[in-house]
Chains A and B, each alone.
Chain A
Amino acid sequence: MSAVELTPPEAARWAARAGLVLPAERHAAVAAVANHIHSVVAVLRELDFADVPPAAAYRAGEEKHDAAV
């Protein structure tokens, strides 16, 4: 296990901080899946984003009218 990986007790504590109480028997499995997800998404840290904005769309002043079906 690398130094950045969550241990089962850490996974439980992080989940509790998020308001999710994990049963003790799930701590190890959740930590393992969380560590795997982290290993996949961590590669995005290689990218130089500079001023690149997040893609999430937001437009002020959205028009309102009835839906057409």
Chain B
Amino acid sequence: MQPYELSLAAAADAIRARRLSPVELVDSVLDRIEKAEPHLGAYVTVAAEQARRAASEAEHEAAQGRYRGPLHGIPMGLKDLIDVSGMATTASSRVRAGHRATADSTVAARLSAAGAILLGKTHTHACAFGLTTPQTRNAWDHGRVAGGSSGGSAVAVASGTATFALGTDTGGSIRVPAALNGVVGLKPTYGLVPRHGVTSLSRSLDHVGPVTRTVEDAALVLTALAGHDPRDPASLSVPAADYRPVAGTDLTGLRIGLPRTYYFDNVHAQVGTAVRHAIGQLEALGAQLVEVDIPMTRYIQATQWGLMVPEAGAYHEGSLRTVPELYQEDVRILLEASELMSAGDYLRAQRSRTLMRAEWARMLEEVDVIAAPTVPMPAVGADEETVTWPDGTVEGVSDAYVRLSSPANITGVPALTVPVGHDAAGMPIGMQLLGRPLGEPTLLRVGHAYEQTQPARALATAA
């Protein structure tokens, strides 16, 4: 096994035991980038020399006995919405031409302090306003979509060109590409991870979180990221915590909600089968399955759009007037149309969110976790725009990809996607675990228990 193939936890153990040096690990991943990146398009920028210098410093620290923790010397990618001092934050859009961040975002600063090494900035669907990331190719099949908007981060982690990465998630933008590329993605509780220095799509829906190869890895990254920052007005005052899950697989006493409605409607048959099989594994580990009815399903898309579209329009108001021609067309027209929504539309969405949060809180009194598909279908071909369901319903690809993930953005509950298999074409399938606000330890425990029952996953093979 080459160093670039190691999970974060395995690489951390090897670095701590001095069996692997940060220089060896970073060199291995940079070599992998050189070979695979031309086929993938996951990165906007690779900062190879900077990464090698940082690896050398990390190795020097380790040699002197200064070990910063499990992220010490671990190479990672940051979605290019996340500010790193001295580097451009392009948002994968020409609107940001000439941009240069003057300070680190909170998450970049925290990862740096924890010893992680920046490899480069990963592609996003332009301005994070889309679900496909067309610049980037799926790690398992280059003719299929990467998913988005954190497509570059998911493809990099899946293909071995980053040991972990950060993404952002406004309607599913961590979980969708993670599921489509067979990696783990965590959208934390709203406010748990500060967004200071992260380009916004929609302030009341935006989250930052890890994309990793395993659930344990996601927990290690979350431990470094979580914690209050007053510069993000939504940031929660919660004490620092170690999120690494316990090793055991016993889920006795845990109640897992199996949705009777919504999450299994208009879902690809092989996705439904794989996710139900994985839920069966959780039951075999001792969990009790409890059927639940998802509340207010008729209003999910309306609430998501009623919040996201005006908030995105507000964020881009200035540049839409000064440099509209620099926006990608699919983003520009949504921003223009956002200007025609009323304050009443937005306030109804905020009031609907109040009702939905209360209903979800009631549902989550009955169960500890809800288990469901992450997305209704695996990665589609890059030129496909719609999907037709057996009942004749025609749905836009982006609408379908966001459908099962947006409830967690509206309500702020944490949501974790875990790979649970592949379809007949070999494309990955993800199971989504949703929990109570600040219920990350439970989600990570369940996801980790499931992973321990499965063989270790290999890297994507298409690159």
Residue positions of A touching B, CB distance < 8 A: 6, 11, 14-15, 18-20, 22, 26, 29-30, 33-34, 37-38, 40-47, 49, 52-57, 62-65, 67-69
Contacts and interface: CB of A to CB of B under 8 A. Distances in A.
Interface of B: 104, 106, 109-110, 113, 194, 196, 204, 227-231, 233-234, 298-299, 301-303, 305-306, 309, 320-321, 333-334, 336-341, 345, 347-355, 357
A19 B298 contact: no
Contacts of B106: 67, 69
A41 B305 contact: yes
Given A37-B305, A44-B299, A69-B109, A55 B336 contact: no
Given A53-B351, A55-B351, A56-B350, A63 B230 contact: yes
A6 B348 contact: no
Given A37-B309, A47-B355, A65 B230 contact: yes
B303 A44 contact: yes
Contact of A67 (B196, B298, B348, B357): B196
Given A6-B340, A15-B339, A63-B230, A44 B321 contact: no
Contact of A15 (B204, B303, B340, B354): B340
29 contacts: A14-B339, A15-B336, A15-B340, A19-B321, A20-B336, A26-B333, A29-B333, A34-B341, A37-B337, A37-B340, A40-B302, A40-B305, A41-B309, A43-B298, A43-B299, A43-B302, A45-B348, A47-B348, A54-B350, A54-B351, A54-B353, A54-B354, A55-B204, A55-B350, A55-B351, A55-B353, A56-B204, A67-B229, A67-B231
Contact of A57 (B234, B309, B355): B234
Given A41-B348, A55-B354, A68 B227 contact: yes
Contacts of A44: 299, 302-303, 306, 345, 348-349, 352
Contacts of B233: 57, 62
A67 B230 contact: yes
A17 B302 CA distance: 25
Contacts of A42: 302
Contacts of B301: 40
Given A11-B340, A34-B337, A62-B230, A52 B348 contact: no
A41 B306 contact: yes
Contacts of B355: 47, 49, 52
A50 to B, nearest CB: 10
Given A55-B351, A68-B228, A33 B302 contact: no
Contacts of A37: 305, 309, 337-338, 340-341
Contacts of B196: 67
Contacts of A65: 230
A41 B341 contact: yes
Nearest to B298: A43
A42 B229 CA distance: 36
B303 A69 contact: no
